[in-house]
Amino acid sequence: MKVAVTTTYLEMRSPDALRLARRVPDDMLLVRAGIPSPELNRAFYTGIGGDCFWMDRLAWTWEEWLSWLSRPEVETWVAHQAGTPAGYCELELQPEADVEIVYFGVLPSFAGKGIGGYLLSQVVHRAWSMRKGIRRVWVHTCTLDHPGGLENYLARGFSVFKEEVSHMKLPHQPPGPWPGAARPR
């Protein structure tokens, strides 16, 4: 099916613009994944993005994942609640001293518990400290992503700098976290 998709690009140009989430969910721990792990990142990518038509990395080989994650410019951060991985973020330090939030999300079973606001607050704070002289932190989201995503970015202090509408050919159903997974939507 062909679908109109609006992509919104957002940026934060000063660490002073960051508005921290007011709520810190109980028993939260944020940890950097210090060892590149294709299995970990792919599990989050499909577990979160499988319902949102995240498909650009589905065909990546293990070696392609490892190559991406092994770059010193890339960091993976994992939020845990009560010891259970609940969400993640990939940050990429880019030329010109930009940091992109490449992927960000919370697993569906943890949605609606304030983890997204907490995680975004923490990883944006980290992005500003990845290197001296960071110029901006930026991210993009689209109408296929979780409906609370754009609201979360705006609530944390991001500003929209561009919107684009494209037409994408998509399967009738999102791929889900793995073939045959039929969790409630």
3-state SS string for the chain? CEEEEEEEEEEECCHHHCCCCCCCCCCEEEEECCCCCHHHHHHHHHHHHCCCCCCCCCCCCHHHHHHHHCCCCEEEEEEEECCEEEEEEEEEEEHHHEEEEEEEEECHHHCCCCHHHHHHHHHHHHHHCCCCCCCEEEEEEECCCCCCHHHHHHHCCCEEEEEEEEEEECCCCCCCCCCCCCCCC
Calculate what percentage of the chain has a pLDDT beyond 70.
97
pLDDT at residue number 178? 76
Inside any domain, residue 129: yes
pLDDT at residue number 38? 97
Q: pTM, whole model, 2 decimals?
A: 0.93
Name the stretches of the chain with pLDDT < 70: 182-185
Name the residue range of residue 126's domain: 2-169
Inside any domain, residue 181: no
Inside any domain, residue 65: yes
Inside any domain, residue 85: yes
CATH number, domain containing residue 127: 3.40.630.30
Inside any domain, residue 174: no
State the total domains in the chain: 1
Inside any domain, residue 179: no
Inside any domain, residue 180: no
pLDDT at residue number 48? 94
pLDDT at residue number 184? 56
Question: How many angstroms separate the CA atoms of 113 and 165, rounded?
Answer: 31
Inside any domain, residue 47: yes
